[in-house]
Amino acid sequence: MPRTHHGITFVDDYEWLREKDAPDTVAYLEAENAYTAEQTTHLKTLEENLFQELKGRIKETDMSVPVRQGNFWYYGRTEEGKSYGRSCRMPVIEGQDAWLPPTITEEPAPGEQVLFDANELAEGHEFFALGASSVALSGNFLAFSVDTQGDERYTLRIKDLRSGELLDDVIESIGAGVTWAGDDYLFYHRVDDAWRPDSVWRHKVGTDVADDVRVFHEPDERFWVGSGATRSEKYLIIETSSKDTSELWFLDMADPTGEFQCQLPREEGVEYGIDHAVIAGEDRWLVIHNATGPNFEIGECSAGPFQLADLNVLVPHRSDVRLEGIDPFAGHLVLGYRREAIGRIALMKLDPGYTSFVEMSFDEELYSVGGGGNPEWDTPVFRYSYVSYTQPASLSLLNVATGERTLLKQQEVQGGYEASDYVATRRWVTARDGEKIPVSLVHRADLDLSRPNPLILYGYGSYEHSLDPSFSNMMISAYDRGIIFAYAHVRGGGEMGRRWYDDGKMLKKKNTFTDFIDVADALIADGVTAPEMMGAEGGSAGGLLMGAVANMAPDRFAAISAKVPFVDPLTSILMPELPLTVLEWGEWGDPLHNKDVYEYMAEYAPYENVRAQNYPNIMAVTSINDTRVLYVEPAKWIAKLRDVATGGEFLLKTEMAAGHGGVSGRYESWRQAAFELAWLVNQVSGLEA
């Protein structure tokens, strides 16, 4: 099938696979699944071992730490043998500490109420995902949304928590989010034909959905609409934003049927966000924006419409610090930012006006830290989560007044895990243009590093998304088999600030690919690994990275695992009717109207650049109902690799009842993860058990 743009014709022999419901397409995908199963039969023992090891490390019957909202403590429960969790609450008991969460055991807590059991909601569905789950401030009503197809189109229901009855209100085919305004009204998003949230609607509880009122509509297809409430519960905020421009509207919660006011009219290239604070008794806006520099600045002004010139600088722009957000509370502010490729937080006490920020410090070099559930405006404590490559996730409580820290819970790793048995290090690789690329390596502490070892190199490098340190129960099994896991923090991500992102997007996208290859070359040159024992892994936009490096440097890797890979970007971005395409022009460029962008993308698009050469073995995993990266992209890619490549084994696995995030249910997700890791472990190490 020919495709002609800007006088350039590309012949696509596999475009027929786009007909999702055609019998030939379904039969093709099912045949591919059967072939993949046949080609991986020898890995069944390894796959089962990995699954059992993962399952054995996880405390299957467990409870989350309760978080206070209003007069209740809210928490979740999981139960051994059940795929999904239960959402519960218990009343705050008079006389107990108002902010120290109660200890929840496996037995029902005093006054415990089950808000919903996701296992019951999932019954009869091959796929299930929870979208929104929001309790009205009064505690009387719960709004929740579910997706039973994997296409991220949600159905919203409302439950009266006093009677336990579901109301007749049913709102279908909407976005995931929902925001309450009192007990009478809630606000939600609708999506257009391209799956873009383009409007905000107001629903009055107990009325016909046909009477819902559209309160905001965004006609510009480059913009995505969201909404929410300030933590103070004083204002409702609507945000409409493209990849590089934003505009916010606000409404006093006391008048939910009133008119939203524009905070600051959009200006191309200016991004901003706001939240409400009370400083020395006065309502103020805290505004984060990039009008004065790419790494953002934080200013403040009186609440109401404003101009950037009205702002008083609270946190100035710095070239070495990327400001990411500020969260106001009644008595303190929490600042999130990124420095030296690590996300950090600092707190400021309000006394009653502004004082100074104090950064929270931790012992490890490589870690992730962030807020850990703090919905209450007037809380005197700050809950934060902490995790590293070797330390399981923990939740702690900081007394803002005294600085005292209290560990509330750390993820339990069953089976005798010792963090000291593993080590995480950071090294810097010099890219071909002189840029320094951070690389994180994780492995057993007793691994013999005097010789090359099997290694899995992971990358993403798009949307300013940062690969922050995280803990993986599954990867322990790889470490224990002598495998190193490495993260290449390539350009296009956000690890080193906005410039890092800008240098890996649009007409600089190739930096993402060459950075990854340069990291691989450095690991080989330093004797950390060797091409015959190195695998690469990435998903979604990271799958585009996998496809590009497979074409550009096939001899560096033994195998490549590509999950829901965006490997046919040019075809997709030339079709504005597809989900999210126009939004994506801000990330990749607009090849439909710009010949330079078209030619640049055509030079790196993985599918279009498959050629007659030896490739590493490649496995692509996709989902039939994925709305973000359509199944047809990896299906066409694998088909073309088989027909054109002169060497390499190519496998395609399509989940026939799943979306962009893969299969649903924790046990099915664990099995899928075990299958994918078994293949990659075998490819880089030869192990079959």
pLDDT digits (tens, 9 = 90+) for 650-684: 999 999 876 666 667 899 999 999 999 999 999 99
Domain shared by 431 and 576, yes or no: yes
196 Cβ neighbours under 8 A, 6+ residues apart: 221, 224, 579, 580, 582, 583
Last residue of a domain, one of 413, 446, 466: 413
State the DSSP H helix or E strand holding residue 619, giving kind and residue range, or none if neither: strand 617-623
Give the pLDDT score at 663: 67
The residue from 540, 561, 572, 664 that is catalytic is: 540
Euclidean distance between CA atoms 608 and 601, whole angstroms: 10
Report pTM. Answer: 0.95
Instruction: Write out the residue range of the structural domain in which residue 581 sits.
Output: 421-680
Q: How far apart are the C-alpha atoms of 148 and 142, rounded to whole Å? A: 19
**198 is annotated as an active-site residue:** no
Judge if 442 and 388 occupy the same domain.
no
DSSP 213-264: EEEEE---TT-EEEEEE-TTSSEEEEEEE-SS-EEEEEEETT-TTS--EESS
Looking at 58-196, list the stretches that DSSP marks H as alpha helix, in order from N- to C-terminal side: 118-122
Per-residue burial over 14-40, b if 16 or more Cβ lie within 10 Å, else e, is beebbeeeeeebeebbeebbeebeeeb
Asked if residue 398 and residue 426 are part of one domain, the reply reads no
Which of 142, 129, 121, 128 is closest to 74 using CA atoms?
142
Last residue of a domain, one of 380, 413, 446: 413
- Give yes or no: residues 409 and 431 share one domain: no
List the Cα angle 245/250/252 in 5-degree steps. Answer: 170
Helix (H, G, I), strand (E, B) or coil at 297: strand
> Would you say 440 and 486 are in contact if contact means Cβ atoms under 8 Å apart?
yes
Interval 372-391: pLDDT, tens = 999 999 999 999 999 999 99
Catalytic choice (242, 660, 664, 685): 660
What pLDDT sits at residue 658?
60
Per-residue model confidence as pLDDT tens digits over 560-574: 999 999 999 999 999
Amino acid of residue 300 = E
Check residue 325 and give its pLDDT. Answer: 97
CB 142 within 8 Å of CB 163:
no
Whether 542 is covered by a domain: the verdict is: yes
Q: Are residue 547 and residue 402 in the same domain, yes or no?
A: no
Q: Which pLDDT does position 687 carry in this prediction? A: 97
Q: Is there a contact between 235 and 229 (Cβ–Cβ < 8 Å)?
A: yes
CATH of the domain at 500: 3.40.50.1820
Looking at the structure, do residues 436 and 504 belong to the same domain, yes or no?
A: yes
Domain of residue 317, CATH code: 2.130.10.120
480 in a structural domain:
yes
Intervals of the chain under pLDDT 50: none
In a domain, 315, yes or no: yes
State how many domains the chain has: 2
Return the structure tokens found at 599.
Answer: 């030619």
Domain's final residue, options 413, 438, 468: 413
Same-domain check for residues 498 and 528: yes
Tell me the sheet residues that pair with 282.
279
Q: Is 580 left (phi over 0), alpha (psi -120 to 50) or beta?
A: left
Q: What is the pLDDT of residue 159?
A: 98
- Residue 626 bears catalytic tag: yes
Q: Which of 133, 503, 626, 664 is catalytic?
A: 626
The alpha-carbon radius of gyration of the chain (Å, integer) is 25
d(CA 381, CA 349): 11
Domain shared by 409 and 425, yes or no: no
Residue 29 lies in a domain: no
Whole-angstrom distance, CA of residue 675 vs CA of residue 299:
49
